[in-house]
Structure formats: C-alpha cells, structure tokens
A and B are shown apart, each in its own frame.
Chain A
Amino acid sequence: MTSLLRIELRKLLPYSTFWVLLVLQCFLLFIFFYARGNVMVNGQMAGAELYQFPKLWMHLAYVSSFLNLIPGILIIILISDEYAFRTLRQQVIDGFSRANLVQAKYSVILLLAALLALYVVFLGLGFGLYHRQDTGNDTSMFSNVQAIFYYLVQLVGYMSLAMFIAFLVRKTGLAIMLFMAYTLVVERLIQWKTPDQIDQYFPMKTLGALTPNPHAEVEQLMLGVTETLSPLQALAPAILYVTLFCFLSYQLLRSRDL
C-alpha cells in the first residue's frame, strides 16, 4: 500500500489542480470557522463561547463538515483524469491489478483525510489558544478532541462515495454533478419520505451524524425532533459504507473494460 501511495504522490505533487483545491479547502476551513465565531448574537460575539476548549472541537468538526464536498470533488477529478488520460488502462497493462487501482486511490483518500484532520487540529489549537480565557477551571485542551477523529472518518466516507461515483460515470462533470446532487438533494428527498428508524442509517445521514451540531437542541426546537445516531453509534455503519464503496468500485472495475 505504501508503494502504491508513493506512485500516487508522483502524480499528485506536480499537479496544480490538486494544490489549488487543497489550498482552497484549507482557506475555506479557516474562513468558515473564523466567520462562525464572529457572528454577533444579541450584541455579543459568538466566538467567545465557541472558541473555548474543550467545546471548540465539536464546533470545529461540525463547521468543517460543511466543506466536505471539495475533497470529494478533488477525488472525482483525480479518478476521471485517469480515465481521460487512459492511464488506468496503462497501469493495468504494466502490472497493476484492478484491486491495486482501488487501493491506490483509497490510499490517497486516507492521506487527504489525515492531512485535513491534522490541519483542522492546528486550526483548533490556534483559535483556542488565541481566545483562551483564564477561567481557572483547567480542563485539558485535548479532551473531546475525538470529535476531529469522527470528522476524519466522515471525510473518508465522503471521498469514498466520490471515488465510487467517479469510477461509475468516468466523466468529470457528470460525476461532480451526481455527487453533489446525491449528497445535497437526492438523499434528503428520500429521507423525507422514509421513517427515521430507517433513514438514520442512510449514507449521508450516517456520515452527518459523526459531526453533530453542538446546538442540536436549538435546531430540533425549530425543525422538530428527528432521530439520529450518536457519533459513536454512527462509526460502525460509516466504516461499513466506506468498505461498501471500495468494494463496489472494485466490482465496477472488474466487470467493465478499461
């Protein structure tokens, strides 16, 4: 797997599209978290409360989860490029198996998720330390940091879905549209007509449950109570979905001509 990742890095590092999207994602994460803390609520900066450890990690994971489409789009571009350049085909001729193709892209997904999660941790430390109030109660900075781990799993989930869609439709534009349509619209429409007990296990809802809104009570007051899984409960089904998307990608590659 590491040798596969090394090959992927040879393609990625000189690729400007990769850097543009990565920098954009990092920039937007910063802006989102900054903006959310600077909203005035009742003449008071929301940030003061938002940026306090250990609650900060949950807020950060929740805010960051709004930006999961960009890494997904990046994965779609990377895979549909390989179809456009016919390099998947060449790599199979040169010695890769179909499974290697999926493993290679999955290794990129893991790397990206890890990088973004790490970046978000640093972002949290930065904001947290900058806004730290000396309240005396010395809770550890890193309690509740597992929220970022759930965010990492969520990223892997979004990107695995993107990978599957890219392998399925092979065209960049179409894949991006399908990815956005499913994540933003289609599943919500299906959820609307499905009882909560069932739709809480739908892919997007499961992944969403990994980073719950820290103000869930307020949201439920306005939108009505819906049943969702806790992050811990959502972990197993989320990992199951990731496995499923990888397996389906592999089956697609096996059954079709390259």
Chain B
Amino acid sequence: MADILDIQGLSKRYGAVQALDQLTIKVPEGSIYGLLGPNGSGKTTTLGIVLDVINASAGTYQWFGQPTSKSTKRRIGALLETPNFYPYLTGEENLRITADVKRVDHARIPGVLQTVGLAHRRGDKFKGYSLGMKQRLAIGAALLGDPEVLVLDEPTNGLDPEGIAEVRQLIISIAAQGKTIILASHLLDEVEKVCTHMAVLRSGKLKAQGPVSSIMAAHDLVFISGGAPLDTLLQIARTLPFVTEARPVNQQLQLTLRPETDSSELNRAFFSQGIALGQLVVRKKSLESQFLEIIKADSV
C-alpha cells in the first residue's frame, strides 16, 4: 500500500524549545493513524507543519507522494487544535466560506450538517454554539470536500460522553469507506479503541511506532510457576535467548519475551528441559501502562 503521508526528519524549534526533533513517520493508506503523546509532546506542531501553517526548522514531508499544494490540500480535510470560524456568522454561513475556499459545491452542506447532527442549528450563530457543537461543525467542515484523508487534532475535546461516542463512531464509519485518518490525541483509550497504527511522541521525539497490535504485543509479560522450584525456573529462563528479562514476583516468575516470540515456544523450551510448567499466563499490558512505559523510557 502506498503511503499517504511521508514525514522525513521533521524538526521545529521555538527559541530554546525543541518542539519536534527529527520525526520520521509514514502513514499507510487506509489506516487510522494515532499520534499519541502527552500535552506538549509535539503532536499539534507535527500536524501544523504538514498542514502548511507552521514552518518546519528542518525536514520534509510529502502528501500522496508530492509536495504540499492546493491540489493536495483539497484531498485533505483537517481540524487543527480549535474549531476556527467566524463567530458572528451562522454555522451554515461558515460552511459556505469553507466550501468556497475548498471549491466544493454548496449542495454538500446540508448533508454534512446532517452527518454531524447540526442540521437543526444551522441558522444559529457560531458564537452561540456549545463547545461540542463547535467541534462537530469543525468536523463537518473537514468532511466537506469528501476528502481522502482526514486529519483530526483532539477531535473529542470538549465533547460529552455521548458526543465522544458519536465522534468515534463517525471516525470508524469514515474509515470504513477506505479513507485514511490521522488522529492526534492524548487519550490512550481513544487511540486504542479507534486506531490501527500509532506513533508515540514525547518531548518532540518519536518513542514508538507501528501497528497498534504489534506495539501492544511487543512487550507482553508472561508469568510462569510450578513444575520445579522457582530458582531452577529462573536459572533456565535466563539461559533462553528469547527471554529479555526474568525476575521472581510473588511466587511466580515474571518474564519479558522478545517481540514476536510466542509463549508456546517458552513452554516447549521448559518441557525439553524436563519441566512441565504448572501455570503459564500471558498478560497483555494495557495500552496505558504501555504508554507510560514508552514515555518514561530514557526520560531519566
């Protein structure tokens, strides 16, 4: 599959602050790509640069294999940071301006308003909207050009639980149409529930990237016990090439396996040593603990 967005060595410096440091990621076509990181980790800076509103200090990026231009912009729908509209205009009038800028037929406006659930408020002024409605209007504006790629920066910000669920459903249904979605969020839960791929940022540095399933599986913990004294198990475990870490925890042995190692391989290894394990439990780390581990790594 082709890459929709190819970012090479992107850096941004604000005075003394290195907001983004040599970021290189590729967003594959059809993926829901989560950009995950705590506040101030460089997510919005990254999106701002690829959306052509922030100048990069170094590095390059390409959309659809070409440098950014008016024609690439029309294939992208984006919501960056805040909903940006004229407060004294109605929702519908604001979308007319967006449609004109994108050169989209105004006939699409009612449908989009319907999609984001604002049809009944289309004649009200934007300044009278609640935060959730503003956010939904911004998503509607992003959908106007029927874009191939949707870039959403914290799309569930300010929404109530119902609104959050609606936006997630919307994202999944848009992705089901084969569109690519790039989603920045500090909510792990959101990324875990929605995304197929992810990149984790901390202080402007890339900490991990890849399909969500592989990042999650990469550091599974295995707990074993029984069949032999704990010390024996420990000694054997430490000789195994695919075990990266082994330590006793609560009468059990906690093992960390090399990425893409199957736990049955572990069982086989012990069996060949003449030990039948009494218990073998694989515990997938939640994305949350995963995430905290990734962002804590080499923060010391």
Chain A residues in contact with chain B, CB under 8 A? 3, 6-7, 10-11, 14-16, 85-87, 89-97, 255-258
Query: Chain B: which residue is nearest A92 at the CB level?
Result: B53
The answer, among B86, B93, B98, for a CB contact under 8 Å with A85, is B86
A93 lies within 8 A of B88 (CB): no
B82 lies within 8 A of A93 (CB): no
CA distance A257 to B84 in the complex (A): 16
A16 lies within 8 A of B100 (CB): no
CB of A146 to closest CB in B, whole Å: 37
CB of A255 to closest CB in B, whole Å: 7
Q: With A7-B100, A97-B70 given, name 14 new contacts (CB 8 A).
A: A7-B101, A10-B96, A10-B97, A85-B87, A86-B82, A86-B84, A89-B53, A90-B80, A90-B85, A93-B80, A94-B102, A94-B141, A256-B55, A257-B53
Q: How many residues of B contact A (CB 8 A)?
A: 28
CA distance A255 to B101 in the complex (A): 22
With an 8 A cutoff between CB atoms, is B253 at the interface? no
B100 lies within 8 A of A87 (CB): no
CB of B288 to closest CB in A, whole Å: 32
Q: A11-B97, A85-B84, A97-B70 are in contact. Are A92 and B89 (CB under 8 A)?
A: no
Query: Chain A: which residue is nearest B151 at the CB level?
Result: A93
Query: Chain B: which residue is nearest A14 at the CB level?
Result: B89
Q: Which residues on A sit within 8 Å (CB–CB) of B282? A: none
CA distance A7 to B73 in the complex (A): 18
Instruction: Type the 1/0 row for B89-119, where 1 means its CB is closer than 8 Å to any CB of A.
Output: 1000100111011110000000000000000
The answer, among B88, B98, B103, for a CB contact under 8 Å with A14, is B88
The answer, among B52, B70, B85, B93, for a CB contact under 8 Å with A87, is B85
Q: Which residues on B sit within 8 Å (CB–CB) of A86? A: 81-82, 84
B86 lies within 8 A of A87 (CB): yes
The answer, among A7, A11, A97, for a CB contact under 8 Å with B89, is A11
Counting chain A CB atoms within 10 Å of each CB, which of B80, B84, B88 scores highest? B84
With an 8 A cutoff between CB atoms, is B48 at the interface? yes
The answer, among A10, A96, A257, for a CB contact under 8 Å with B55, is A257
The answer, among A10, A16, A93, A256, for a CB contact under 8 Å with B51, is A93
A94 lies within 8 A of B98 (CB): yes
Q: Which residues on A sit within 8 Å (CB–CB) of B103? A: 95
CA distance A90 to B48 in the complex (A): 11
B54 lies within 8 A of A258 (CB): yes
Q: Which residues on A sit within 8 Å (CB–CB) of B54? A: 257-258
What total count of A-B pairs have CB within 8 Å?
Answer: 68
CB of B29 to closest CB in A, whole Å: 21
CA distance A16 to B89 in the complex (A): 11
Q: A7-B101, A10-B96, A11-B97 are in contact. Are A87 and B55 (CB under 8 A)?
A: no
Counting chain A CB atoms within 10 Å of each CB, which of B54, B70, B85, B86 scores highest? B86
B96 lies within 8 A of A94 (CB): no
Query: Chain A: which residue is nearest B55 at the CB level?
Result: A257
A94 lies within 8 A of B48 (CB): no
Query: Chain B: which residue is nearest A89 at the CB level?
Result: B53
Instruction: Type the 1/0 row for B215-254, where 1 means its CB is closer than 8 Å to any CB of A.
Output: 0000000000000000000000000000000000000000
With an 8 A cutoff between CB atoms, is B179 at the interface? no
A-B contact pairs, 6 of them (CB 8 A): A11-B89, A90-B84, A90-B98, A96-B101, A255-B55, A258-B54
Q: Which residues on A sit within 8 Å (CB–CB) of B86? A: 11, 85, 87
CA distance A1 to B87 in the complex (A): 25
CA distance A256 to B97 in the complex (A): 24
Q: Which residues on A sit within 8 Å (CB–CB) of B85? A: 85, 87, 90
B84 lies within 8 A of A89 (CB): yes
With an 8 A cutoff between CB atoms, is B74 at the interface? yes
B89 lies within 8 A of A95 (CB): no
CA distance A92 to B9 in the complex (A): 23
A91 lies within 8 A of B87 (CB): no
CB of A81 to closest CB in B, whole Å: 8
B48 lies within 8 A of A257 (CB): yes
CB of A254 to closest CB in B, whole Å: 8
Q: Which residues on B sit within 8 Å (CB–CB) of A85? A: 84-87
Q: Which residues on A sit within 8 Å (CB–CB) of B84? A: 85-87, 89-90
A7 lies within 8 A of B80 (CB): no
A95 lies within 8 A of B70 (CB): yes
CA distance A93 to B142 in the complex (A): 10
CB of B13 to closest CB in A, whole Å: 12
B101 lies within 8 A of A91 (CB): yes
CA distance A37 to B180 in the complex (A): 69
**Nearest 3 A/B pairs, CB to CB:** A90-B84, A86-B84, A258-B53
Q: A89-B53, A93-B51, A95-B73 are in contact. Are A10 and B88 (CB under 8 A)?
A: no
CA distance A212 to B48 in the complex (A): 49
With an 8 A cutoff between CB atoms, is B78 at the interface? yes
Query: Chain A: which residue is nearest B144 at the CB level?
Result: A94
B73 lies within 8 A of A94 (CB): yes
